[in-house]
């Protein structure tokens, strides 16, 4: 049982993505005690699943490495993975939080040598690749995972595979007897940075995400570019593995739609503009992108990026919300139907692959753990006095890009620090 690791001068950060890591580090580097909990087996969150991020098109692994070094170097920061907040009681300066710890079945002895995974035959969907590929049921979540420790999936527990993995371990790192635990800690303030999840594209019935192989989501497309991703870094369409040289992007797939998500998800325009550069990166002049949009919302300084993409003759812009998609049964090409707004021309355009720029929604409902927290119509945490010292950060508070998520996390961290300073008497 994990013991008392915190006091009411501790800050709890919920969620180990870019926002949570930032908030935790900022507070810990200011000399506060921080507990960071993450429900997945590794820190990193959605940013670790990106190939590149805009506007500079650098690889997130770089920023991830810097943050991990900061985390490893900081004694005031404790990280719990496979940990979920079940319930929050109390008020500012005096919260009692119960945290559910799921078993990893692998202890601190693990050196990530991988001998256990080699002997196991069971396979499961790889969530890091959004289920586009399979992986061994005993696994390291991804190459840069932190902590660098293998995980044994619940599904192999009690099967011969689990015993094989245990026998293969030279470091006595596998403990098949691990059970779910609950720990209760005291904290003074909470930063809620549980992030976002992609909107379920299958709910957008006319686009046929659940029916057509060659309709994918923007997050899946992102994984295709990763050299360690499901297609080994090549843009190959799912139906036949053909190179996807003629790609359609549909904006507002779920966002700005009262039937789905009411809000503008803000990042998807930039995401598709960025992904159109992937098509050019892979196929040069042979790669064609067509972006179907209502309005392009490339916010403030990243308007430059939009202008650059707009100047590329290989990228076409069609001002129209696509009405529906059909599939050519023989070639599995997708055909997009609609009417454009600039002249009201009816189109039936054929593409190799269609990417739905899916919207962001909050990954969890904060109210399941802390019932009184105020959320907006889309479920994002709003700044409100009734929240006490529970502060929303990053995509738990709004649909944000990485840049803005980090700003929001730093702001939330500062608010939490102020609460702790009052508790400790450092600030009146």
Partner 1 sequence: MSERNNAMVEKYRNDFLKEVEANVEEGPWVKMCMQCGVCSGSCPFGPYWEHPPQEIFMMIRAGKRDEVLKSESMWMCTSCYNCIVRCPRELPITHIMHGLANYAHRLGIAPKMNPTRRFAKLFWQNIMKGGRVNELKLSVGLYFMDGFANGVKKGLAMLPVGIGMFKTGRLNPLGLLGGGKCKGAGDIHKMVKKAQEIENRRKGFAS
Residues that bind partner 1 (CB under 8 A): 206, 252, 256-260, 294, 319-324, 337-341, 344, 346
Sole residue written with tokens 């006091």: 7
Instruction: Please give the distance of CA 194 from its chain centroid, rounded to a whole number.
Output: 9
If the CB atoms of residues 340 and 382 are measured against partner 1, the closer one turns out to be 340
Q: How far is the CB of 322 from partner 1 (least distance, A)?
A: 7
CA proximity to 51, closest of 208, 204, 278, 364 = 278
Of 238 and 338, which CB lies nearer to partner 1 in the complex structure? 338
CB atoms within 10 A of CB 286: 12
Q: How far is the CB of 199 from partner 1 (least distance, A)?
A: 13
Q: Distance (Å, rounded) from C-alpha 317 to C-alpha 296?
A: 10
Token pair of 331, please? 């070639």
* Of the candidates 49, 43, 47, 50, the residue with the CA atom closest to the CA atom of residue 24: 43
Q: What is residue 201's three-state secondary structure?
A: helix
Beta-strand ranges (E) seen in 140-204 are: 151-152, 181-187, 189-192, 196-198
Residue placing its CB nearer to partner 1 in the complex, 108 or 348? 348
| 50 or 252: CB nearest partner 1 | 252
CB of 321 vs partner 1, minimal distance in Å: 4
- Tokens representing residue 11 in the block: 């800050």
Helix, strand or coil, per DSSP, at residue 382: coil
Nearest CB to partner 1, comparing residues 223 and 260: 260
| Residue 207 CB, nearest approach to partner 1 (Å) | 11
Minimum separation from the CB atom of position 255 to partner 1 (A)? 9
Looking at the Cβ atoms of 58 and 339, the one nearer to partner 1 is 339
Backbone angles phi, psi at 278, to 5 degrees: -65, -40
Report in angstroms how near the CB of residue 269 gets to partner 1 at its nearest: 14
Alpha-carbon radius of gyration of the chain: 23
Q: Which is nearer to partner 1, 225 or 261 (CB)?
A: 261
Shortest Å, Cβ 196 to partner 1: 20
CA angle, 418 then 419 then 420, to 5°: 90
Going 289 to 295 to 298 to 303, the CA torsion angle's sign is: positive
State the minimum distance, in angstroms, from the CB of residue 351 to partner 1. Answer: 16
Burial 17-30 (b: 16+ CB within 10 A, else e): bbbbbbbbbbbbeb
Q: Which is nearer to partner 1, 20 or 338 (CB)?
A: 338
């Amino acid at each position: 049982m994990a013991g008392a690791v915190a006091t009411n001068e501790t800050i709890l950060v919920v969620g180990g993505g870019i926002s949570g890591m930032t908030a935790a580090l900022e507070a810990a580097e200011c000399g506060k005690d921080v507990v960071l909990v993450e429900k997945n087996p590794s820190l990193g969150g959605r940013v670790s699943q990106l190939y590149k991020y805009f506007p500079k098109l650098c690889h997130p692994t770089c920023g991830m490495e810097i943050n991990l070094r900061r985390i490893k170097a900081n004694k005031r920061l404790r990280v719990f993975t496979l940990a979920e907040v079940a319930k929050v009681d109390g008020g500012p300066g005096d919260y009692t939080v119960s945290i559910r710890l799921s078993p990893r079945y692998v202890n601190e002895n693990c050196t990530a040598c991988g001998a256990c995974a080699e002997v196991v035959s069971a396979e499961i969907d790889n969530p890091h690749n959004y289920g586009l590929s399979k992986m061994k049921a005993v696994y390291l979540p991804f190459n840069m995972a932190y902590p660098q420790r293998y995980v044994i999936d619940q599904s192999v527990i009690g099967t011969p595979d689990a015993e094989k993995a245990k026998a293969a371990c030279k470091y006595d790192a596998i403990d098949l007897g691990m059970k779910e635990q609950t720990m209760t800690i005291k904290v003074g303030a909470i930063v809620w940075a549980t992030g976002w999840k992609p909107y379920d594209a299958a709910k957008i019935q006319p686009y046929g995400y659940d029916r057509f192989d060659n309709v994918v989501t923007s997050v899946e497309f992102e994984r295709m570019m990763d050299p360690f991703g499901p297609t080994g870094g090549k843009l190959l369409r799912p139906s036949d593995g053909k190179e996807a040289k003629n790609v359609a992007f549909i904006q507002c797939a779920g966002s700005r739609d009262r039937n789905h998500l009411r809000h503008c998800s803000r990042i998807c325009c930039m995401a598709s503009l960025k992904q159109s550069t992937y098509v050019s990166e892979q196929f040069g002049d042979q790669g064609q992108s067509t972006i179907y949009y209502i309005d392009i919302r490339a916010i403030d300084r990243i308007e430059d990026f939009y202008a650059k993409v707009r100047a590329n003759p290989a990228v076409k812009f069609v001002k129209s919300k696509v009405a529906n998609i059909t599939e050519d049964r023989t070639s599995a090409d997708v055909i997009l139907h609609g009417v454009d707004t600039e002249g009201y021309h009816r189109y039936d355009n054929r593409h190799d692959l269609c990417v739905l720029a899916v919207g962001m929604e909050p990954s969890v409902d904060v109210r399941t753990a802390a019932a009184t927290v105020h959320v907006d119509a889309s479920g994002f945490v709003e700044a409100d006095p009734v929240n006490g010292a529970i502060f929303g950060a990053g995509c738990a508070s709004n649909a944000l890009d990485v840049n803005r998520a980090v700003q929001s996390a730093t702001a939330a961290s500062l608010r939490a620090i102020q609460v702790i300073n009052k508790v400790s008497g450092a600030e009146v």
